[in-house]
Amino acid sequence: MLRTRSARSARTAALLASLTLVALLGLQGLAFAQEIVVYSGRSEALVAPVFERFTQATGIRVVARYGDTAQLAAAILEEGQRSPADLFFAQDAGALGALAAAGRLEVLPSHVLDRVDPRLRSPEGLWVGITARARVIAYNTELVPAEALPQSIWDLLDPRWRGQIGWAPTNGSFQAFVTALRVLEGDDRAEEWLRGMLANQPRSYANNRAIVDAVGRGEILLGLVNHYYLFQLLAQYGEDFPARNHHTRGDAGAIVNVAGVGILDSSRNKEAALRLIEFLLSPETQQYFTNENAEYPVLLGSQVQTNPLLVPLDEIATPEIDLSDLADLEGTLDLLQRTGVL
């Protein structure tokens, strides 16, 4: 008698538990009906406010996984068709190119693509740039007189800079620059430049941030970086932080790269993801990015005021090159390893 009662109550408990579980799962399904998952290589501080405004405007909730761009890309490739991600927001075009090459990105509609400078998106329409950044040479204003600044990347081979240049060879943006150099001047010249640089004993930093910081401290005189880290550091250290950006003219040292987005082929919320891209490309959001993070807007036309701290894109003599020309990452890595840079 006792046993049957306890067995019955156990069964009742199990039934109750499973009912609760079903109810919870159901509720979850309801609550998240309008939700997209973004894997973001861009930092939470920068993009979370944008996602919030998107949710306010559309009612679509954005859930983000923040991480390192390359590692998120690797995770998406590992996840395959079961990836929970709908949208990938990458810090550089290389990662988007890798996903595109693996056939993991959806073609975007032309009404979105057509808004963006054709140099700053995938020619197949698989990804689109959201903000643009220029390669620059950061220099220490107290230790380098303006007339001594290198006019081209080839001037960096001058022995006067021996041991005084910082670069970040493991960094995607540096590798894009080397790829551009190969495309613009040929593999042989690129190799010559790299070997010349090595003879000048550059210092290999972990990333662009560390380089600009080191330039400001006077540890090095020049650094090959993306333009916007300087503005971040100026905001932190104040205006007397002794580093500024310098643009070379017309060579690979002046290429423009992007942070951009693509929709995953495995996404089940492509409509909603597309709406987020439209929102990211709206003049208001573009204005926010250029104001907050001192990056360049990517829209055609002049609906957005580029941050006044920046040299406008059309005044930088960028070389004639499309981002899609920079797809041969493997060739660049080969070259970097052959020359001993990496």
Q: Count CA within 13 A, CB hemisphere, residue 248.
A: 26
250 phi-psi bin (left φ>0, alpha ψ -120 to 50, beta other): left
As a whole number of angstroms, the distance between CA 1 and CA 237 comes to 78
Contact call for residue 267 and other proteins (CB under 8 A): no
Residues facing 17 on adjacent strands: none
User: How many chain residues interact with other proteins (CB under 8 A)?
Assistant: 57
**x-or-dash string of contact with other proteins, 203-232, rule CB under 8 A:** xxxxx-xx-xxx-xxxx---------x--x
Contact call for residue 72 and other proteins (CB under 8 A): yes
Amino acid in position 212:
V
Q: Count CA within 13 A, CB hemisphere, residue 149.
A: 20
- 83 near 89, Cβ under 8 Å? no
* Location of structure tokens 């979370």: 48
Nearer to other proteins, 155 or 339 (CB): 339
- Cα→Cα distances 70→134, 153, 172, Å: 20, 27, 9
Q: By CB under 8 A, name the one of 147, 240, 320, 330 that touches other proteins.
A: 330
Nearest distance from residue 89's CB to other proteins, in Å? 13
Nearer to other proteins, 35 or 155 (CB): 35
* Residue 176 structure tokens: 């894009």
Q: Quickly list DSSP for 56-68.
A: HHH--EEEEEE--
As a whole number of angstroms, the distance between CA 224 and CA 135 comes to 7
Contact region with other proteins (CB under 8 A), list: 124-132, 149-157, 168-176, 282-290? 168-176
Contact region with other proteins (CB under 8 A), list: 148-156, 247-255, 303-311, 324-332? 324-332
Q: By CB under 8 A, name the one of 66, 141, 184, 265 that touches other proteins.
A: 66
Amino acid in position 152:
S
Q: By CB under 8 A, name the one of 172, 223, 260, 319 that touches other proteins.
A: 172
Contact call for residue 257 and other proteins (CB under 8 A): no
Q: By CB under 8 A, name the one of 175, 245, 282, 306 that touches other proteins.
A: 175
Contact region with other proteins (CB under 8 A), list: 74-82, 113-121, 255-263, 299-307? 74-82
Contact region with other proteins (CB under 8 A), list: 82-90, 131-139, 248-256, 299-307? 82-90
- 316 near 246, Cβ under 8 Å? no
Nearest distance from residue 213's CB to other proteins, in Å? 7
- According to DSSP, residue 141 is labeled T
Nearer to other proteins, 116 or 276 (CB): 276
Contact call for residue 236 and other proteins (CB under 8 A): yes
- 57 near 50, Cβ under 8 Å? no
Comparing C-alpha atoms, which of 311, 260, 264, 273 is closest to residue 119?
Answer: 260
Amino acid in position 86:
D
Contact call for residue 73 and other proteins (CB under 8 A): yes
Contact call for residue 15 and other proteins (CB under 8 A): no
The residue ranges that bind other proteins (CB under 8 A) are 37, 43-46, 63-68, 70-75, 77-80, 82-84, 94-95, 98, 170-172, 175, 203-207, 209-210, 212-214, 216-219, 229, 232-233, 236, 329-330, 332-333, 336-337, 340, 342
